[in-house]
Structure 1
Amino acid sequence: MQVLQVQLEIRPDPAEVGRARRWARSRLAGSGIQADEPLAETLILLVSELVTNAVVHTGRPAVLRLTLPVLVAGVRHPGESVATVRMEVVDGSARPPRPRCADGDETNGRGLALVDGLADRWGWTSEGAGKRIWCEVDRCSAGNTAAAARDTAPSAYGDLAYEAV
């Protein structure tokens, strides 16, 4: 499997969040992740949260990096069941990310909780005078359809049916 790594420089301006989402959407499509896939929307939400945190909480430029698996002719090789999309935001602030608990009607404070809930893995490391916040999302291949079907099949809980998406 081939891997593509792309990056976008982010200015410390809230308008950059929308630009980062548009840029990421085009890069995802170029790697074979279609806009109508649930994975694409999850990744765009993660881009939005991480870039927003960098812009709002540091007030400094940042770099968004995506590492994307690229399907050659739309086919995975035998034995490849999972491809991982990695996203990183590197900023110039040494201040570590701080998860918060937002109360009721608060409009801020849920970003890292969303990242924790949507990503398969996430974390951060010091990077020079700043830090790197990263997350990864696994993309199952068609060869792993049984597990994918099991994970997305409606389940019963008491008298309620629900679907994990």
Structure 2
Amino acid sequence: MQVLQVQLEVGPDPAEVGRARRWARSRLAGSGIAADEPVAETLILLISELVTNAVVHTGCPAVLRMLLPGVPASEPGTVRVEVADRSARPPRQRHAERDETNGRGLELVDGLADRWGWQHEGSGKRIWCEVDRCEAPPPARGAAFRHPAHEGVALGVH
């Protein structure tokens, strides 16, 4: 199976996170992963968290890279997301208290991704995660569908 690799340079500005999400949505759609697929929603959330961490915690530019399964897009495959930055400081997973508004990024990554990790890259690092895109029968008419990776994860909108 072919793999398509795309990347985006992200500036050290929190506003870049929204640009990265829009860019990722368009690349996913271009690879045949529909915006309403649960895997697309999961990937956008993962990208948002990893890019936010890179921009906010390092203050450095970063590179967002996606490795997408090739055509036909209807077949199962793995989507890999990588964010490389210039900070050698390792990522640190926190366990935020209930009333804290920050500190859950890597917990979300750990809960939503099938695999994730990090490695040193040059003078910086690369954090990566992978999501397996499985074939699933469409939900029954009128039934709500919930991606298994979202079970047990509560997200709030403020």
Q: TM-score range by the shorter chain?
A: 0.7 to 0.9
TM-score in terms of structure 1 length: 0.81
Structure 1 residues 23, 75: CA separation in 2 closer, same or farther (over 3 Å shift)?
A: closer
Partner of 2:156: none
Partner of 1:103: 97
Cα RMSD between the aligned structures?
2.2
Task: Tell whether the 8 Å contact from 2:14 to 2:56 is kept in structure 1 after alignment.
Answer: yes
Task: Tell whether the 8 Å contact from 1:13 to 1:55 is kept in structure 2 after alignment.
Answer: yes
Partner of 2:13: 13
Alignment of 1:67-78 (within 5 A): 67-72=67-72, 74=73, 76=75
Kindly provide the CA deviation profile for residues 28-76 of structure 1, in whole angstroms up to 9, marking residues without a partner as x. 001110001011000000000000000000000000000001223x554
Q: Which has the higher strand share?
A: 1
Partner of 1:43: 43
Q: Secondary structure at the match of 1:89?
A: strand
Q: Which has the higher helix share?
A: 1
Partner of 2:79: 85
Extract structure 1 runs of 4+ deviating beyond 6 A: none
TM-score in terms of structure 2 length: 0.85
Displacement of 1:141 after TM fit? 2.9
Displacement of 1:105 after TM fit? 1.4
Aligned AA (2:130): E
Identity among equivalent pairs (%): 75
Structure 2: gaps spanning 5 or more residues: 151-158
Displacement of 1:104 after TM fit? 1.5
Structure 1 residues 123, 35: CA separation in 2 closer, same or farther (over 3 Å shift)?
A: same
Distance 2:6 2:78 in 1: 15
Distance 1:88 1:97 in 2: 13
Task: Tell whether the 8 Å contact from 1:4 to 1:70 is kept in structure 2 after alignment.
Answer: yes
Displacement of 1:118 after TM fit? 0.2
Count of aligned pairs: 145
Aligned AA (1:128): G
Aligned AA (2:52): T
Structure 1 residues 30, 129: CA separation in 2 closer, same or farther (over 3 Å shift)?
A: same
Aligned AA (1:57): H
Aligned AA (2:70): V
Distance 2:6 2:79 in 1: 12
Task: Tell whether the 8 Å contact from 1:83 to 1:141 is kept in structure 2 after alignment.
Answer: no
Partner of 1:113: 107
Task: Tell whether the 8 Å contact from 1:84 to 1:136 is kept in structure 2 after alignment.
Answer: yes
Aligned AA (1:100): R
